[in-house]
Homo-oligomer: A and B are copies of this chain.
Amino acid sequence: MTGSSFMNGVPELLILRLLEQQEMYGYELVQAIRARTGDAISLGEGVVYPSLHALEREGALKSRRKLVNGRTRVYYAVTAKGAKHLAGLVRHWSHITAAITRAIGETRHAAATL
């Protein structure tokens, strides 16, 4: 009850969404997430890498190794299956957050009016 960080499922959602728009490697993703959310969300590598591996295992992502400046980068891209999965996640996300936003914005009277 201490955390309440509202982050359940969010790493998976953001990772798939960003990778759908552009192929990226893990380290790049970590920074991209921070940048794209205006520092509101900052995922550590200990969250991103395991997620990438799990998503690839499930067939939602595919990876290819690339050598840049003597360093190895593992680029990830979303598969067709991953895109379908992401669509479901976004749909679910919208549904849930809309319901919560409505619920916490309602007054008891407005609720009764339903």
Contact B37 A92 (CB under 8 A): no
Measured as residues with beta carbon below 8 angstroms from the partner, the interface class of chain A is: 35 or more
Contact B104 A90 (CB under 8 A): yes
Q: How far is the CB of A13 from chain B (nearest CB, A)?
A: 7
The oligomer's copy count stands at: 2
Is A31 in the interface zone, CB < 8 Å from B?
Answer: no
Residues of B within 8 A of A83 (CB): none
Contact A92 B6 (CB under 8 A): yes
Contact A10 B100 (CB under 8 A): yes
Residues of B within 8 A of A96 (CB): 5-7, 10, 40-41
Chain A 36-48 per-residue mask, 1 if CB under 8 angstroms from chain B, else 0: 1110110000000
Further pairs besides A37-B102, A38-B99: 12, Cβ < 8 Å: A1-B51, A1-B58, A4-B9, A4-B12, A4-B13, A6-B93, A6-B96, A17-B103, A38-B102, A40-B96, A40-B99, A41-B100
